[in-house]
Each structure stands twice: as C-alpha cells, then as structure tokens.
Structure 1
Amino acid sequence: MSTFPPASGRHPASDVVPLSLCARAPRVPADRLVAEMVPPPRFDSVRFDTYVPDPNQPSQTEAVTVLSAFAAGLGGGAHSSGSGGQGGPRRWFGRKPAEPAGPRGVYLDGGYGVGKTHLLASLWHATPAAPEVKAFGTFVELTNLVGALGFQETVRTLGGHRLLCIDEFELDDPGDTVLVSTLLGKLVDAGVALAATSNTLPGKLGEGRFASVDFLREIQGLASRFRSLRIDGDDYRHRGLPEAPPPYSEEQVTKTAYATEGASLDDFPALLGHLATVHPSRYGALTEGLRAVCLTDVRAVPDQSTALRLVVLADRLYDREVPVLASGLPFDRLFSDEMLNGGYRKKYFRAISRLTALARDAKRLVAQ
C-alpha cells in the first residue's frame, strides 16, 4: 500500500497537483475522429530528408527513393471538387477518375523500429494535396472510425481523399481484416491511393519474409494494386543507445509527479481497471495535454483483454511523445511468455519497444 499522497492531494514540497488518468472519461464526437486522422505529434515534423537510413541496410535508402516518387505521382487533379483541393468531404457523382499508371498502393514490410511509421508519415507530408484530402491513422483507429460513422458514411467521407495511410495493419483479427479490406476496395474504386505498414513477427529467422504475403492475401482483390517494399534493419529505438533505465522507487516516481507540471500519477493496477471503462478510440483524448505519465506498482498484465488495451495506450503515449516513469516491474516483464508466444505477440513486442523508449525519455525528469 502506498504511503505517498494520492494524485488528488498536494505534496508538502510542491505546489503541483498531479493529474490522474483514472479520473478522466473523455467523450470524442465522430467528426473529431475524422479531423484527427493526421500524423501524430511525434511524426508531425518528420520528412524523407530527416529519415536516417542505416548504411548497412540499402533497402532503407531504396524505400525513401520509391516513396518519394510515389508521393510525387499523387499530384495533379484526379480528385477535384471545384474548390482548389480545399474544404470538406468530396462527393463523386460524375465520371470515375482516370486510373494512374503503376501501383495504387504501397506496403512497407519490415520489423520493429526500422522507421516504417516515419516513412509513412513522410509520404503523407510529401503528397502534394491539402491536409483535408489526406488521412493518416492506425488500423485500430480506422476500424473505430467505421464503428462511429458506419461503413457507408466512412466510404463517403474518405472516398474524396487523395491518400489514406494505415499504420500497423493488423492481420490477427479476421473480422476486422475483412471489414477493412472491403473498405479499401471501395476507396480504391473512388481513386484513393493507399499506403500501409505492419510489423513482422520477431524471433524466427526469415519469418518476416512472409509478412507481405500475408498482407497481400488478406486484402484479397487489391493485392495487384500494391507494391511491397521490404525494409530491413534493427530497431532504431535501441540501436546504439543505452538500455532503458530500470524501474524507479515509488518515492522517486511520486516526487517526480509532484515536481512536474502536467504529469499524471496513477496506480498501475487501478489504471488497467479504468482502461476497461474507456473505449480504445478515446485513449488519445485520455492522454491529451499530459507532459508525463507516472505509474506506481507496475506488475504483470493479468489477461489478454487487458494487455490489448494497454498496447493501444502505449501506442497513443508514444505517438504523443509522453515520457513514462514507473516503479515496480520493468516493461519487458509486462506480458507473460504465453502472450509473447501467442497470436498477438507482434503487438506486445511493439508495446515493450515503445514503452522502453518512453521510459528512457523519462530519465531526464528524475534528474531535474
């Protein structure tokens, strides 16, 4: 049991009162879900020329070249609403746009931390079109959008876009995969260009080579419209960097929360329970405005449903560059061996990688 002041109290040595994720219950209207389909803050300023290819991995340099040309090819007026490319959703009642030469989609195939999201966001930024006709989101965010708007309204809303970028395309839920595959078919028919990433699975030599085969199989009739780009390399989040700091003491975490304006302070088991009451589509809003997340009593996640919710929260914190300071177990012990060897293992490895990076970012807060 903690002997430190709760987040609603005031630390005797500080005027800062930490926030609490457990006290937040955001409501997000559907139109906001559409408006927020842009690269997250972590990738707002990335560009092709800020991507640093590993000199030992020529596929990384090749990917920049191919994607730059793909972006340039999306210019012109195939989609026009008579408003100069500005404004809200487009409706298409007239002649179907002429099909451009070459593939209408690209798929970035590679492991964790090779910069796929950086490249995908750079493609979004480099595409010569107004932000209103470009969309960027994770696979989960796209399925949440369909749930909020309905299938036909999602087709109508995104059908006027020039480009849709889907990060972390998930191949482990057959129902969602069929739903999104059908949606993408409708969007391609409307002239929308597509780009997607997904993570290969770690731990087996050569296993990642099958990721593109799996992806192309799952999107069924669209396979011929995609060009697959293999991006080899090591996880840049840990390439040449020190190991993530070990967990801190509960006293250090609490003191840091009270000394950091905009930090939250929560008991980890209580937070896991609270996540079950908030739809994952709202986790971005849940973390809005936070400058740090401080967690006490981190322990192994008890079940798969809880683990999958934690993965989504880790993604939203990573997107928003929110450092995470924690006491208890290190992040590489969050998930059981059974989880790490099961069907959702790629999500859990991604969460460990991202939380480790955020824990490293939090180190500077303790030193203040």
Structure 2
Amino acid sequence: MHAPVNPRPQDGPLPAYRARVAAGLLKPDTAQALAAETLQELWHRLRGYDPHPEAPAEAGFFARFMRRKPVPEAPEGTPQGLYLVGEVGRGKSMLMDLFFECADVIRKRRIHFHQFMQDCHQTIHAWKKRNPGEADPIPPLANSISADAALLCFDEFQVHDIADAMILGRLFEALFARGVVVVATSNTAPDDLFKGRPGRDAFLPFITLIKKRLNVLHLEAQQDYRRERIRGLPTWHSPVDGRAERALDAAFLELTGEAQGVPVRLTVLGRVVELPEAVRGVARAEFDDLCGKPLGPADYLAVATHFHTLVLDGIPRLGPENFDRARRFITLVDALYEHRCKLVASAEAPPDSLYEQGENAAMFERTASRLTEMQSKDYLALPHLT
C-alpha cells in the first residue's frame, strides 16, 4: 500500500518527498533524496523561528517600508540558509516548494528571484520620490522585507542586470543582519554569478557573503525531468480554437504544476516588457502581447533568457498587411531559437503556411524552418541557454 501523498506538514519535507516517490508521482533519485535530507535538517533548525516578533503585525508593506526605526539584530545562532544549484530540470524548484510548504515559520515568502528584484526596484523608486533628500533606501527596504518574511525562498536565483548587481550586496547584508534566512535554487554556482559582466569586481563581496551565509549544495541528478516532460507534449496546435486553447492550458499545467502564473515585468534598457503570466521559468502570452507592440531584439532577448519555455496563444496568418507584427515575430523566434527556449503555441496554420504569399514571404522561410525544427525531439532535448 502506498504512503499518503500529502503527509502532515509538521513531519517536514523529507517525508513529503518520500511519499511522492512511494505514490509513483516522482521517480527515485539519489541526488534529490540527499537534497531532501538537507532540507529536512534546515526544517528542524527553523521550527518556530522568528528573529524579531515584536515587529508590529498591523503595519502594511508600505508603512513598514517608510519606517526609520531599524529592526533589531538577529540573535546568535541564526540558521544557515541553503543555495541549491544544479542543471535545469533536476527538481530544485519542486524540492524547495516541498520545504516551503512544510516550513514552520510564521513569516515566510516564496518568490521568483527576478520578480523579487523587480519589486525591490519599484519600491526603491517610490521611496526616492517621497524622500528626495535622503540618499540610502536600502535600510528601510531591508526593514520592510524582513518584517514580512523571516524565511525567503527564491526560485531561479540569477543575476543578469547591472542594476540588480549594484544593490544585492548591501541589501542581502542588511537582510542577513536582520536574521532573514534564505533558501535559493539556481542553475549557476555562486562563483559563476555575473561572470564575464562589466563591473563584476564590485559584485565579488556579494558572492563571498552568499557562501558565508548559505550552505551550497550541488544537485547532481542525472535526469532532466523538465525536458522529459516537454518532449512528451505536442508543441504546435492549429487552428486557433477551443481545442488549441485547452491544449495550451494543459501544457502550462504540465510544465509548471500551476494552472496559472502571475504577471511579470522585465526591465530592458529602461523600458518595461510585460508578460501576462509566468511561473517556474514558463511564460504565457498572447501573440499581440509580444508582437503587437513596438518591441525589439533586446526585449525578445530578455524573454528568451529569463524563461526556458514560452507558451504563445493565437499566432495569426501573416502577410504584407500585418508585416510589422510578422517582422517582430521573426525577431522573437530568432531570439528563442538562439537561446534554445522552447515554444508551445497555437496558430492559425502550420509554420510553412503562416506566411505563404506576398512581399517578404521568402524572408519568412527561415522562420518557418526554425519553427518546425523547434518541434523536433532533438531541439526539445537541448539545454536552455541563458
């Protein structure tokens, strides 16, 4: 008889993981089991953890952000966090989610790291507008975040943006000083964060801080479960109808474990690119969200590098009458292809029939060829390039 799929949260993430293996929902994996044991140890150390319970519970996010009074220092013995690193599709997010669900911490938050940084930039901008004579928004920002969460769980920790790199060191130093415990998943080892980017020397103290405050565990699972899932999915659905929409709904659920994502805003060269929903490295948008707006190569590059899969609804027939949208779609496909981003789409026709005649039809031939290749098992087996 199988173990229950949902054991009591008070038992911790390791029993939850073993129950899913016993129920056949997960395949046995030695590396995942080791990570679950490590998370179980952290779960024990965090039970009832609350480094500053005197923070006023009735204060809202913005009110706490504006507060000048510093949060008391964390007591000695603050638990070390965990940095779970490994290749894509190895189960890092799944394991962290099990841990987060079981964590016996009243104030906790689980968020995609990119979204967290977007929230920080927006809050800093609002603070500077209200306090033009004060130069340092980091302490009040850290007060606000630590008042909301003693445990922060970050999915897909990655640093591509110089604006993020410039504030991370001081922000995390302030968060750790306030007793915040961090658990993060990443495809990149700490020593390789922001590697090869201008200004990395100024970023090195942050890497040292991460290695000091977080135990680093390499998840060396042999199987890429994410690529296995998408290899079993049809990725092109035509025509655009109810059946195609249901197929894309099912694909999003299969790839993310969620029926719906949350809105995400990417900042690109000072502009904002909005995705209606995204979760766990999968974004979903309508064709017009990405190709009906004046977006360019840098915008599509941001989409292709931030997400390993794009679910795109409603690609229309293309031609001279809507060539602006067709040209943007060509640029989008080029960015996705170059970074091995996977595409699941609904369209009015197969790739070879999307742009059949008229001026610039020949230009679309390469795009049609790439769209066809992107449905192949060989392409779907390729790792995402960030």
SS at match of 1:122: helix
Is the CA contact (8 Å cut-off) linking 1:104 and 1:226 kept in structure 2?
Answer: yes
Equivalent-residue separation in structure 2 for 1:293 and 1:197 (angstroms)? 25
SS at match of 1:194: strand
Equivalent-residue separation in structure 2 for 1:58 and 1:258 (angstroms)? 38
| Displacement after TM superposition at 1:86 (Å) | 8.5
Equivalent-residue separation in structure 1 for 2:214 and 2:276 (angstroms)? 30
Equivalent-residue separation in structure 2 for 1:95 and 1:246 (angstroms)? 52
SS at match of 2:82: strand
Cα separation, partners in 2 of 1:64 and 1:186, compared to 1, 3 Å: same
* One of 169, 176, 179 as aligned partner of 1:181: 169
SS at match of 2:174: helix
Cα separation, partners in 2 of 1:306 and 1:104, compared to 1, 3 Å: same
Residue type at the aligned position of 2:302: L
With structure 1 as the length reference, what TM-score do the two structures score?
A: 0.56
User: Is 1:114–2:90 an aligned residue pair?
Assistant: yes
User: Is 1:129–2:105 an aligned residue pair?
Assistant: yes
| Displacement after TM superposition at 1:295 (Å) | 4.6
Cα separation, partners in 2 of 1:61 and 1:149, compared to 1, 3 Å: same
Equivalent-residue separation in structure 2 for 1:146 and 1:84 (angstroms)? 21
Is the CA contact (8 Å cut-off) linking 1:75 and 1:127 kept in structure 2?
Answer: yes
Runs (5+) with no aligned partner, structure 2: 1-15, 125-136, 194-202, 250-266, 318-325, 347-386
Q: Percent identity?
A: 20
Residue type at the aligned position of 1:307: L
Equivalent-residue separation in structure 1 for 2:52 and 2:40 (angstroms)? 22
Cα separation, partners in 2 of 1:143 and 1:212, compared to 1, 3 Å: closer
SS at match of 2:90: coil
Q: Following superposition of structure 1 onto structure 2, how do residues 78-117 of structure 1 map, counting pairs within 5 Å?
A: 78-82=50-54, 93=70, 95-100=72-77, 104-117=80-93
SS at match of 1:96: coil
Cα separation, partners in 2 of 1:80 and 1:138, compared to 1, 3 Å: same
Tell me the residue number matched to 2:234. Answer: 245
Runs (5+) with no aligned partner, structure 1: 1-46, 201-210, 263-274, 341-347, 360-368
Tell me the residue number matched to 1:159. Answer: 146
Cα separation, partners in 2 of 1:86 and 1:238, compared to 1, 3 Å: farther
Residue type at the aligned position of 1:177: A
Residue type at the aligned position of 2:32: Q
| Displacement after TM superposition at 1:214 (Å) | 2.1
Equivalent-residue separation in structure 2 for 1:286 and 1:76 (angstroms)? 32
* One of 106, 110, 113 as aligned partner of 1:139: 113
* One of 50, 54, 71 as aligned partner of 2:43: 71
Per-residue Cα deviation, 1:125-158 (whole angstroms, up to 9, x for no partner): 221123xx21222222122111111143421211
Residue type at the aligned position of 1:283: L
Tell me the residue number matched to 1:23. Answer: none
Cα separation, partners in 2 of 1:143 and 1:116, compared to 1, 3 Å: same
Equivalent-residue separation in structure 2 for 1:178 and 1:226 (angstroms)? 20
Is the CA contact (8 Å cut-off) linking 1:96 and 1:190 kept in structure 2?
Answer: yes
Equivalent-residue separation in structure 1 for 2:75 and 2:212 (angstroms)? 17
Equivalent-residue separation in structure 2 for 1:285 and 1:243 (angstroms)? 23
**Cα-Cα RMSD:** 4.6
User: Is 1:192–2:180 an aligned residue pair?
Assistant: yes
User: Is 1:172–2:146 an aligned residue pair?
Assistant: no
Q: Following superposition of structure 1 onto structure 2, how do residues 1-368 of structure 1 map, counting pairs within 5 Å?
A: 48=17, 49-50=19-20, 54-55=27-28, 57-82=29-54, 93=70, 95-100=72-77, 104-130=80-106, 133-150=107-124, 151-152=137-138, 153-160=140-147, 161-200=149-188, 211-215=189-193, 218-233=206-221, 234-239=223-228, 242-249=231-238, 252-254=239-241, 256=243, 279-280=272-273, 283-284=275-276, 295=287, 303-309=297-303, 334-336=333-335, 340=338, 348-349=339-340, 351-352=341-342, 355-356=343-344
| Displacement after TM superposition at 1:192 (Å) | 0.2
Q: Which has the larger radius of gyration?
A: 2
Is the CA contact (8 Å cut-off) linking 2:111 and 2:153 kept in structure 1?
Answer: yes
Is the CA contact (8 Å cut-off) linking 2:85 and 2:186 kept in structure 1?
Answer: yes
With structure 2 as the length reference, what TM-score do the two structures score?
A: 0.53
SS at match of 1:176: helix
| Displacement after TM superposition at 1:187 (Å) | 0.3
Is the CA contact (8 Å cut-off) linking 2:304 and 2:335 kept in structure 1?
Answer: no
Per-residue Cα deviation, 1:148-179 (whole angstroms, up to 9, x for no partner): 11143421211222111122122333441232
Is the CA contact (8 Å cut-off) linking 2:190 and 2:210 kept in structure 1?
Answer: no
SS at match of 2:226: coil
Residues paired across the two proteins, number: 260
Is the CA contact (8 Å cut-off) linking 2:82 and 2:183 kept in structure 1?
Answer: yes
Residue type at the aligned position of 2:171: L
